[in-house]
Structure 1
Amino acid sequence: MGLVICSLLWNAADAGQQKIKYDGDGYHLVRFPYVAGQESYDPWHMHDPAHGGGTPSKFPDARSGLIWPSHDGWGVLTALAFWEPHSSPTEYRTRFVRDPLGAGYDSTATSDSAPTGGGQYRSYVWQMFVHKGTPLGFKISARGRGDAKVAAPLVHAQFKLAIHTDVHTP
């Protein structure tokens, strides 16, 4: 079975603080730099700044938060978010989204969790069919009392897509 992979990493210590900007849906599309190294891996050019516009994207614009599947297939999406341990949210939310910047916005695998007594480290996994030409994004939200959005600092994030390209049908 064929497998193609894109693995993205952003770390505040290396790439600077990521300002959390909430979109109309109340979530922030996590952005990733266009660099290789560490955990980042993109031989299929699924996180290419040329995708999705007339001019190349530049980190940290919104398009730098997209993975563009290179193949149709069964996608395994994984993500990791580390929040500043002493921030004030009462709830953390995440979701994977198909076409997060376009008219075909389709969120899936939305989850929420309460803060723990220690570090705020979360990992996520979801599986779904992915299609070439339909970008994917990882969105986050930190909420306070009364569902108020909080600008809690994100300090580390990863977003990965593994596409099984040889899906058999009966």
Structure 2
Amino acid sequence: MPVAVCSLKWELAVPGTGQQRISYDSDGYHLVRFPYDRSGESTDPWRMHDPGRGGEGASAFPDPRSGLIWPSHNGWGVLSAMVIWEADTRPTEYRARFVRDPLGQATGYDSTGTTDSARTGGRQFRTYTWQFFVKKGTPVGLKVTARGTGDQRLAVPITLAEFKLAIHTDVLLP
């Protein structure tokens, strides 16, 4: 079965990337951004993370469009992510969700695969997986939030994030 893939990585430790400023959208989540550099672990042979997509001019990391993967094909999408948060005692909960069209540029915001977990000691290490049909022309994104008591959104820095999409392009139909 043919598979088209896009694998993105952002890491604070990489010189020149800077800290990813956590800012919450109207839905209370932060769209995680990724550099357009395809070196290191990031790979994008189908150019699904293209700075020219989704706007009139070129996007530049860390603007919101740098958080989008534009599926190259219609098919069954397997999304996976990893996020490492700095140690912080204020959050009581960490959440993540995968979103179709997180910036409302194509078919409209559609979140799915939301998960939450309680804080553990030290840094927070989280992995996520979700599957759904993806469509060429409708971007997908990874959104996260750290919440304290009373649903308070906290700007806890992340130190590493990965976001991957594998599209199974040969889905059998009855």
TM range (shorter): over 0.9
Task: Look up the match of 1:53.
Answer: 55
Aligned Cα RMSD in Å? 0.9
Number of aligned positions between the proteins:
170
Q: How does 1:23-38 map to 2 (within 5 A)?
A: 23-38=25-40
From 133, 136, 149, give the equivalent of 1:145. Answer: 149
Task: Look up the match of 2:161.
Answer: 157
Alignment identity in percent? 65
Mark the runs of 5 or more structure 2 residues left unpaired by the alignment. none
Task: Look up the match of 2:9.
Answer: 9
Q: In structure 2, how many angstroms separate the alpha carbons of the residues matched to 1:96 and 1:25?
A: 13
Mark the runs of 5 or more structure 1 residues left unpaired by the alignment. none
User: SS where residue 141 of structure 2 aligns?
Assistant: strand
| 8 Å CA contact retained: 1:87, 1:153 | no
Normalised TM-score (structure 2): 0.95
From 79, 83, 86, give the equivalent of 2:85. Answer: 83
Query: 1:87 deviation in Å?
Result: 4.7
Query: 1:45 deviation in Å?
Result: 0.3
Equivalent residue letter for 1:101: L
Q: In structure 2, how many angstroms separate the alpha carbons of the residues matched to 1:30 and 1:21?
A: 10
Q: After TM superposition, where is structure 1 displaced by more than 6 Å over at least 4 residues in a row?
A: none
Query: 1:16 deviation in Å?
Result: 1.1
| 8 Å CA contact retained: 1:94, 1:112 | yes
89-98 or 78-87, which moves further after superposition? 78-87
Deviations 1:8-31 (A, max 9, x none): 000011111000010000000000
Normalised TM-score (structure 1): 0.98
Equivalent residue letter for 1:59: F
Query: 1:42 deviation in Å?
Result: 0.2
Equivalent residue letter for 2:64: A
Deviations 1:38-92 (A, max 9, x none): 2100010000000000100000000000000000000000000000023521110
Q: How does 1:90-105 map to 2 (within 5 A)?
A: 90-102=92-104, 104-105=108-109
From 113, 117, 124, give the equivalent of 2:117. Answer: 113
Q: In structure 2, how many angstroms separate the alpha carbons of the residues matched to 1:123 and 1:38?
A: 20
User: SS where residue 89 of structure 1 aligns?
Assistant: coil
Query: 1:146 deviation in Å?
Result: 0.4
Task: Look up the match of 2:46.
Answer: 44
Equivalent residue letter for 1:19: R
Q: In structure 1, how many angstroms separate the alpha carbons of the residues matched to 2:89 and 2:111?
A: 26
Equivalent residue letter for 1:125: T
Query: 1:118 deviation in Å?
Result: 3.6
